[in-house]
C-alpha cells in the first residue's frame, strides 16, 4: 500500500498522458473515493500526417489526447487540456538542441518533469482547485519520521522504476505529488486497466522521446539546426586523424555505429570536443571512468553534503547502480567510483541512492 501525501484529502489533478499507467493512476484514486480531475498537456505540434496515424505512440500527440479523453469519459471525471507548447519548446526542446550543439547528450524527460509537469502543470492544477498532482510514474513516496522530509523511493517494479527521472523534485513538489502505481508491477497495472474497463488497457508503451516520434534524433536536429552540422575530423587519443564526421550532433559517448572507420578493433566515441569540432574515437577500454563531476545538484532525502558520503550511483536510466563515494565540491559533487564505469556521458544525470531512497542527483559535467 502507498503512503498518502501530506494533506491528501482535497481535489487531485491527474496528469493523463493517454497511456495505461496514468489512466490506472486515475482509476485507482477514484476507487479510493478521491475527488479527481484529468489534465492532459499539449506540449508540441507534430505534422498533421504524423498525428493522423495510429502508429504514433508518443505520449502527448493527438492520439494521446483522444485516449486520455476517452478514459476520462469512462471514469466520468472532469477533463481539461493545458496548452504548454511554448513552455515545452523553451524548457525542453531548445535545451535538447543546445546540449547536442555543445557535444553533450541531454535527457529531455528529466527537463519535462522538472520544468513542465511539476512546475507549470502543478500551478495550473492549483488554479483548477487541485492542490495535489498525480502521475503514472513508477515511484513511491513516504515521510521520514525523524527529519520530516518527503522521501522519493524506487518503484516496486525494478524493470519500470522511474525514480531516476524524478530526482530534481523539491520537497514542496514531493509533498504535493502522488504516484498511485508506484507500488505495483506493470503486469498488475495492465490487469487493473482491464478490470476497470479502460479503453487503453492493451495500448502499447511509448518508448521514444515524445517530440521525436520516429526516434531519429539526427533527422530532428538537422531539420532544426542544419547549420550546426559542420564536417570535421575523427581522431584517436593521440590526436591523429582517422576519419571524418558530418557533424558532432550525430554522436554521443559510447556510440559505435556511424563512425565509418575500418579498424582491427571496434572503435567507440570516447569524447566530443565542440570547440574544435572533433570526435575522439578509441577502443572499449578507453570508455571507462572512475571519477566524474556533477553540477546543478538537487537533494532529496538529505539537505546536502557536509563531508564524504557513500552511495550507489546511476549515470544513465538503464545503468546498473555502482558503489561510489560522494565528495562535496564548490557548486557540485565529485563522484569517485569503486570501479570505473563505462560511457559516462556529459549532459546525462547522475542519481545518488541509499538503497531504495533517492538521496539526490545532478548533471554530469566531466
- Catalytic residue flag (residue 112): yes
Query: Is 51 annotated as catalytic?
Result: no
Q: If you write DSSP's letter for every residue of 198-236 in order, what string do you get?
A: -TTTTPPPP-S-TTSTT--HHHHHHHH-GGG---EEEE-
Torsions phi, psi of 44, nearest 5? Answer: -160, 170
The Cα–Cα gap between 167 and 162 comes to 9
Q: Domains plus CATH for the chain?
A: 12-195 (3.40.50.620), 229-282 (2.30.30.280), 288-364 (2.40.30.10)
Distance CA 175, CA 178 (A): 8
Which of 6-15, 133-142, 219-228 has the lowest average pLDDT? 6-15
Angle, helices 62-75/20-31, rounded to nearest 10 degrees: 20
Give the pLDDT of residue 61.
Answer: 67
Quick one: what percent of the chain has pLDDT higher than 70? 92
Return the HEC string of 15-51.
ECCCCHHHHHHHHHHHHCCCCEEEEEEECCCCCHHHH
Q: Which residues of 53-82 are buried (b: 16+ CB within 10 A; e: fewer)?
A: eeebbbbbbbbbbebbbbbbebbebebeeb
Q: Give the model's confidence band at 321: pLDDT under 50 very low, under 70 low, under 90 confident, else very high.
A: very high
Given pLDDT bands bounded at 50, 70 and 90, which one contains residue 366?
Answer: confident
Contact 15, 190 (CB under 8 A): no
Pull the grid cell for residue 93. Answer: 526542446
pTM: predicted TM-score of the whole model, two decimal places: 0.92
Q: Which three cell numbers stand for residue 276?
A: 574544435
Bridge partners for 151 per DSSP: 142
What local confidence, expressed as pLDDT, does residue 214 receive?
Answer: 79
Least confident of 2-11, 320-329, 351-360: 2-11
Among the listed residues 51, 109, 210, 298, the single catalytic one is: 210
pLDDT band at 46 (very low <50, low <70, confident <90, very high): low
pLDDT at 57: 45
Q: Which of 51, 60, 112, 298 is catalytic?
A: 112
pLDDT at position 209 is 82
Amino acid at each position: 500500500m502507498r503512503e498518502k501525501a501530506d494533506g491528501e484529502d482535497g481535489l487531485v489533478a491527474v496528469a493523463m498522458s493517454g497511456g495505461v499507467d496514468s489512466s490506472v493512476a486515475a482509476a485507482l484514486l477514484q476507487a479510493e473515493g478521491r475527488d479527481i480531475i484529468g489534465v492532459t498537456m499539449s506540449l508540441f505540434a507534430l505534422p498533421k500526417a504524423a498525428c493522423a496515424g495510429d502508429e504514433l505512440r508518443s505520449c502527448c500527440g493527438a492520439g494521446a489526447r483522444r485516449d486520455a479523453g476517452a478514459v476520462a469519459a469512462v471514469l466520468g471525471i472532469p477533463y481539461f487540456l493545458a496548452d504548454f507548447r511554448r513552455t515545452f519548446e523553451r524548457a525542453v526542446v531548445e535545451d535538447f538542441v543546445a546540449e547536442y550543439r555543445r557535444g553533450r547528450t541531454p535527457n529531455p524527460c528529466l527537463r519535462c518533469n522538472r520544468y513542465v509537469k511539476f512546475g507549470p502543470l502543478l500551478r495550473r492544477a492549483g488554479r483548477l482547485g487541485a492542490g495535489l498532482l498525480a502521475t503514472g510514474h513508477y515511484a513511491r513516496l513516504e515521510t521520514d519520521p525523524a527529519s520530516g522530509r518527503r522521501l522519493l523511493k524506487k518503484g516496486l517494479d525494478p524493470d519500470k522504476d522511474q525514480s531516476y527521472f524524478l530526482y530534481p523534485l523539491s520537497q514542496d513538489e514531493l509533498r504535493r505529488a502522488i504516484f498511485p502505481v508506484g507500488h505495483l508491477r506493470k503486469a498488475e497495472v495492465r490487469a487493473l486497466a482491464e478490470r476497470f474497463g479502460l479503453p487503453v488497457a492493451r495500448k502499447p508503451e511509448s518508448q521514444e522521446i515524445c517530440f521525436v516520434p520516429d526516434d531519429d534524433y539526427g533527422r530532428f536536429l538537422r531539420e532544426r539546426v542544419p547549420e550546426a552540422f559542420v564536417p570535421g575530423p575523427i581522431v584517436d587519443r593521440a590526436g591523429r586523424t582517422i576519419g571524418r564526421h558530418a557533424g558532432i550532433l550525430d554522436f554521443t559517448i559510447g556510440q559505435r555505429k556511424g563512425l565509418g572507420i575500418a579498424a582491427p578493433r571496434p572503435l567507440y566515441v570516447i569524447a566530443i570536443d565542440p570547440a574544435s569540432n572533433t570526435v575522439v574515437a578509441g577502443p572499449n577500454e578507453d570508455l571507462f571512468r572512475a571519477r566524474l563531476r556533477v553540477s546543478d545538484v538537487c537533494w532529496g532525502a538529505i539537505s546536502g553534503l557536509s563531508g564524504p558520503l557513500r552511495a550507489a550511483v546511476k549515470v544513465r536510466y538503464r545503468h546498473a547502480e555502482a558503489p561510489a563515494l560522494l565528495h562535496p565540491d564548490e557548486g557540485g559533487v565529485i563522484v569517485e567510483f569503486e570501479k570505473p564505469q563505462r560511457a559516462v556521458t556529459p549532459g546525462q544525470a547522475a542519481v545518488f541512492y541509499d538503497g531504495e531512497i533517492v538521496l539526490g542527483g545532478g548533471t554530469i559535467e566531466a
